[in-house]
Each structure stands twice: as C-alpha cells, then as structure tokens.
Amino acid sequence: MEKEESSKIIRLAHGAGGVLQEELIKFITKDITLKNVNNGIGVEELDDGATIPLKDYDKEIVITADGHTVFPLFFPGGDLGKLSVCGTVNDILMMGAKPLALTSIIIIEEGFNFDTLQKIVHSLNSTATEACVAIIAGDTKVMPRGTLNEIIIATTGIGIKDKKIKIVDNGLKPGDNIIITGSIGDHGTALMANREGLNISTDLESDVSILIEIFNAIKKEIDENLIHAMKDPTRGGMAGALNDWASKSNVSIVIDEEKIPIKKQVSAICDMLGLDSFNIACEGRALMAVDSNQSEIILQKIKKTKLGRDAMIIGEVQKDNPGRVLLKTIVGGTRFIDMPLGEPIPRIC
C-alpha cells in the first residue's frame, strides 16, 4: 500500500475477503520459506486448499485450514459448530477431493458456558457425521476474559483425490459456462438482518451446509475433468470468487443478471442497507466453471439434489477484457462487477 498509515495498522476490512485481505495474506506468506510439498499446490496459489502429491501413487492429499468466528453464535439456519465444519469440508470438496477427516482447535474465553459449548460441539459433530468426516485430533485453549470474543474454532480438513483431477482457480477456459448451485447472499444477509440494532424481521435463513450431495451427483464429471474450477463464494461473495477466477485464469467472465438466483428478502435487505448482494457471503453454495458441451447435463444433475434445486447457468467465460467480470444488467445495460473491497458497510440513505 502506498499510504503509510494504512499499512501500519490491521483493520477489520483486512479480514473481509476483499482486496485488503489479499494484501494481508500476501504480507504473511511472503515470509514463509518452504511453500509447498513435492511441487503440489502450496500457500502461494491462494487456492481453496493445498495438495501433497504422494510419490509413487496416483493420489494426493488435500489439506485446508480455516478459522471461524461468527456473531451471533447461533443464527437462523446454523451456528458456529456447523459453520466450522462446512467451511473447511467445502474447501476440500471444491478441489475435487473426498473429505476424510478434520482436526479442530477450540479457543474459548474465560466465563463461556458449558451448555452453549455443548450445543456447538453437538452441531459440529452432527455436521461432520453427515459428511462421513471423522474428527481425529484437536486442542483447546482458554483465554482470559476480554482477550477474545466468546469462542473461536479453527479446523483443518484432510481429503484425498486422484492426481489427474485438476480443479483450480486458474483452470477457466474461454467458452466455459458458469454455474451457481443456489441463491446468493443468504448467509451474510441473514446474519446482518439478525444483528443487534437492526430490527428487520425476516424468515431468511443462512444457507450454511455441506456440499457433499452436489459433489457426489457430479463425481463422474469431476473425474473426467469437465469441471474446470469450483469455489464456494464465502467472504467476498460471488463477486469476489468470480474476480479471483478471472484474474488468475486471465479471462473475462460475463454474467447475466437475470439468471442469478437471489431471494427477494436478500435483495430487499441489501437494497435497504446499501449493500451489494454480489459481495455477500454464502456458506453452502458452489460456483463452477464447466465445459460448455456438458453444462446442461451437469446442471440437471445438480438440480436433482436437495441443495441444488435452484442451480442456474449464470454466465460464460470469454477472452476479451481479461481479468474482468462483466454484468449484463436486468434492463439490458452492461457494467463491470468489481472485486469487493472489504467489510461491507451500510450506506447513508
């Protein structure tokens, strides 16, 4: 960053999945010496996870790590326990790997209550069981009151995949179709609507869920490398994920606004708060870039799953304007979709 003051202090926006977060991650990773194992995907690729190719075998291990905090701890549609499994397991799935196990570190603030902890652990366990993922190791720490807000869970996910499956952020090819597996922005919007001081009554629920059913439905296409990229649009939302792809793959992505599935309440709340629904986090959706000849078949398979009912083909990959994401708006105009900057903050009305 050019401006000195801003580079000295870490701000909230540095954790919000936008350009600032990218800067923070680069700041940390530049000082790491050994960045990959056996030339697998390492920390520098900033992909959903890393791979450790196993010498003499045609398999590789996939590792992802994620720290989770959420306020409030229990929100419509989920809680911290569920969230901390979904986030990590989905990252493994998004690399085309079968999730095997999790480790979990729980850091708790002094004074936290056992009942609440139990609810979170139960939820963590039932979510992991649903995906047949074992929790094989862990650690706990208790921190003095005030040094941390309630509880943080950090999970590491371990999965396995064939070496020949290549689902990576730089895998998009001109002509590919873009699929989203369900409505965008539910998680972030549901949370915001429920935060203190924002008295919006809504039945909107977070979409937090494990994407395993969708993954299994399209396993054949994954094995045949017909899916060129997959990503769960968490922090930074759809706009963040698409921009990431466009710049890493050096292509443009043209999205048709009319096709984007979005719930009425999500648009309404975002409009009201002056937020861009494209930037709002999902926790149970996947974006895919798929071979255009197979996109209809893949879409139909996804639509048959419970989570993927509302899946849509929302756009395509093109050659012009490399690195940019364009939107054909609902009234027919064209504009850019930019990389979100960070912390979405409501605008004056």
CB of 256 to other proteins, least distance (A): 11
Q: Which of 104, 106, 74 is nearest to 89 (CA)?
A: 104
Which residue in the set 2, 51, 124, 259 belongs to the binding site for other proteins (CB under 8 A)?
2
Contact status, residue 253 vs residue 317, Cβ threshold 8 Å:
yes
Residue 272 neighbours by CB under 8 Å, 6+ apart: 200, 349
Out of 132, 149, 272, 320, point to the residue binding other proteins (CB under 8 A). 272
11 or 164: whose CB is closer to other proteins? 11
Kindly provide the b/e burial profile for residues 207-237, where b requires at least 16 CB atoms within 10 angstroms of the residue's own CB: bbbbbbbbbebbeebbeeebbbbbbbbbbbb
Residue 54 sits in the site that holds other proteins (CB under 8 A): no
- Exposure of 196 by Cβ count < 10 A (0-12 exposed, 13-18 middle, 19+ buried)? exposed
- In the range 181-240, which residues lie near other proteins by CB under 8 A? 197-198
What would the two tokens of residue 188 be?
A: 């972030």
Note whether 146 binds other proteins by CB under 8 A: no
Quick one: which of 9, 39, 55, 115 contacts other proteins (CB under 8 A)?
9
Q: Which of 113, 274, 293, 309 forms a contact with other proteins (CB under 8 A)?
A: 274
- A 10 A CB-CB count for 250 gives 11
Residue 144 binds other proteins, judged by CB under 8 A: no
Name the token pair of 68.
């989770």
Closer CB to other proteins, 71 or 336, in the complex: 336
DSSP three-state, residue 258: helix
The least distance separating other proteins from the CB of residue 15, rounded to whole angstroms, comes to 13
Query: Minimum Å distance from CB 3 to other proteins?
Result: 5
Least separation, in Å, of the C-beta of 277 and other proteins? 11
- DSSP code string of 67-130: EE--SSSEETTEEHHHHHHHHHHHHHHTTT-EEEEEEEEEEEETT--HHHHHHHHHHHHHHHHH
Q: Which of 30, 55, 306, 347 binds other proteins (CB under 8 A)?
A: 347
State which of residues 105, 117, 268, 297 lies at the interface with other proteins (CB under 8 A).
Answer: 268
Q: Who's near 144: CB < 8 A, 6+ residues apart?
A: 110
55 or 264: CB nearest other proteins: 264
Binding site residues, other proteins, CB under 8 A: 1-3, 5-6, 9, 11, 19-20, 197-198, 258, 268, 271-272, 274, 321, 327, 329-336, 338, 341, 345-349
